[in-house]
């Protein structure tokens, strides 16, 4: 799993922060992206909207069949402050993430799709190249609210933080599997 932050998170000793969706033929690859983008479909957007993430993840899954998992989270203020973007509070970002997963799964059904949600809009959107087997979506969580949400909308759970055991219990008690 590879982080997607513009700045190296947590320590400057890390030096560089890559953006990567794959490595080689033997390893499962994933991205810990945050779909909290503002809807601008720009290639350099630090947090692209869910339609772009759906397309990128579908492409990676085609290129690495059975070896790609999409990791999503509500994000950290490591990218946005660099570009002067607004940073919503955690409860709002968690709602955005839940809706983003809904948008991604809708696009992965195929065909032309419209969606009008609280945070995202799609009009005549379609991901034309879909893999035979859709990748799992793992949800990153640092707290109980997002751990419960991960069980509802995700296929798995990522928790790199200090509350991993507590959040894993919440995830499993909420119906989460992986």
**Tens digits of per-residue pLDDT, 55-103?**
989 998 999 899 888 988 887 666 556 667 677 888 888 999 999 999 9
Overall domain count for the chain? 1
Interval 29-51: pLDDT, tens: 444 455 554 444 434 445 678 99
Task: Provide the β-strand partners of residue 116.
Answer: 121
Q: What is the pTM of this model?
A: 0.78
pLDDT at position 75 is 73
Residues 6 or more apart whose CB falls under 8 angstroms from that of 38 comprise 45, 49, 85, 86
Closest CA to 103 of 70, 146, 148, 62: 70
Evaluate if residue 127 carries a pLDDT over 60.
yes
Position 6 in a domain: no
% of the chain residues with pLDDT over 70:
67
CATH code assigned at 18: 3.20.20.30
Q: Give residue 37's domain range.
A: 12-173
> Active-site residues: which are they?
5, 76
DSSP assignment string, 25-60? SSS-EEEEE-----S---TT-SS--HHHHHHHHHHH
């Amino acid at each position: 799993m590879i982080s997607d932050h513009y700045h190296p998170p947590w320590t400057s000793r890390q030096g560089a922060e890559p953006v990567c969706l794959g490595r080689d033929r033997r390893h499962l690859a994933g991205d810990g992206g945050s779909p909290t983008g503002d809807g601008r479909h720009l290639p350099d957007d630090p947090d692209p909207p869910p339609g772009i993430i759906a397309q990128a993840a579908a492409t990676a899954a085609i290129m690495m069949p059975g070896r790609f998992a999409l990791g999503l989270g509500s994000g950290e203020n490591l990218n946005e402050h660099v570009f002067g973007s607004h940073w919503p509070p955690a409860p709002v970002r968690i709602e955005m993430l839940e809706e983003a997963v809904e948008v991604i799964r809708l696009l992965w059904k195929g065909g032309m799709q419209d969606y009008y949600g609280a945070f995202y809009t799609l009009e005549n959107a379609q991901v034309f190249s879909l893999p035979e087997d859709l990748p799992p979506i793992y949800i990153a969580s640092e707290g109980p609210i997002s751990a419960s949400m991960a069980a509802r909308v995700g296929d798995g759970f990522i928790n790199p933080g200090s509350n991993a055991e507590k959040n894993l219990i919440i995830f499993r008690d909420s119906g989460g599997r992986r």
